[in-house]
Amino acid sequence: MTMNLRLITPPSEDPISLEEAKAHLNVDADITEDDNLIRGLIAAAVQAAEHKIGRSLMPQTWELTLDRFVPVITLDKPPIVQVKSVRYMDPDGVMQTLASAAYLLDDFSEPGRLVPAPGMFWPETRCQLNAVRIQFEVGYEDAAKVPRAIKQWMLLQIGTMYANRESAVIGTIVAELPHVDGLLDRYKVWR
């Protein structure tokens, strides 16, 4: 069975502001010539952090598609805020929306889990690709709620990319700080 995730609504802001990044980089707030570069580095650091830890940092909406219901549906990219909808193609080929009382969200577990409510069963679906579509919201409430260790890791990545604007450094010895990735260990989602 295939499970696919697709971003429906991206975050409207980053967990690190341009001002925070410039302060970390010791770039004067009034100097704007590198602002677009720094914004790009912030975006790259956020994507790298989310990939490394399997977690969503800012509010966003994802859609999970399944070919059919399974007993326990895993919802990746915690923290899970809410399930917006559970839709499915019924055996007659009509898209149905499942009532929210028909399922339970375990948003304590990471990744989150979706199961039928007590005494309920998942409905039968049409035999077709992507017959089940689940939209759910994830991410910390705002930038202030993103754990400081994750933000610090991103700032260190931004600093490294800002100082080294090429993919290779020639004629120097380079050594990574051994503790940097350890900042993320506590927040990694294990499957």
Residue type, 45: A
Q: Tokens for 7?
A: 């971003």
Task: State the pLDDT confidence band at 181, using cuts at 50, 70 and 90.
Answer: confident
| pLDDT score of 3 more than 90 | no
CA–CA gap between residue 73 and residue 112 (Å, rounded): 8
| Residue type at position 11 | P
CA distances from 62 to 10, 15, 34, 142 (A): 8, 18, 32, 17
Question: If you count them, how many residues does the chain have?
Answer: 191
Confidence label for 182 from pLDDT (cuts 50, 70 and 90): confident
The one-character DSSP state at 156 is: H
Residue 2 banded pLDDT, cuts 50, 70, 90? low
Helix (H, G, I), strand (E, B) or coil at 49: helix
Mean per-residue pLDDT, 162-180 = 73
Name the percent of the chain lying above pLDDT 70.
95
CB 150, CB 187: distance < 8 Å: yes
Q: In the chain, what are the domains?
A: 3-57+143-185 (1.10.3230.30), 60-138 (no CATH)
Q: Which helix (H) or strand (E) holds 138?
A: strand 132-138
Q: What percent of the chain has pLDDT over 90?
A: 85
Per-residue exposure over 144-173, b if at least 16 CB sit within 10 Å of its own CB, e if not: eebbeebbebbbbbbbebbeeeeeeeeeee
CB-based contacts of 181: which residues, under 8 Å, 6+ apart?
A: 52, 153
Residues 6+ apart with CB under 8 A from 92: 126
Q: What is the pLDDT of residue 178?
A: 62
Which token pair is 24?
């970390």
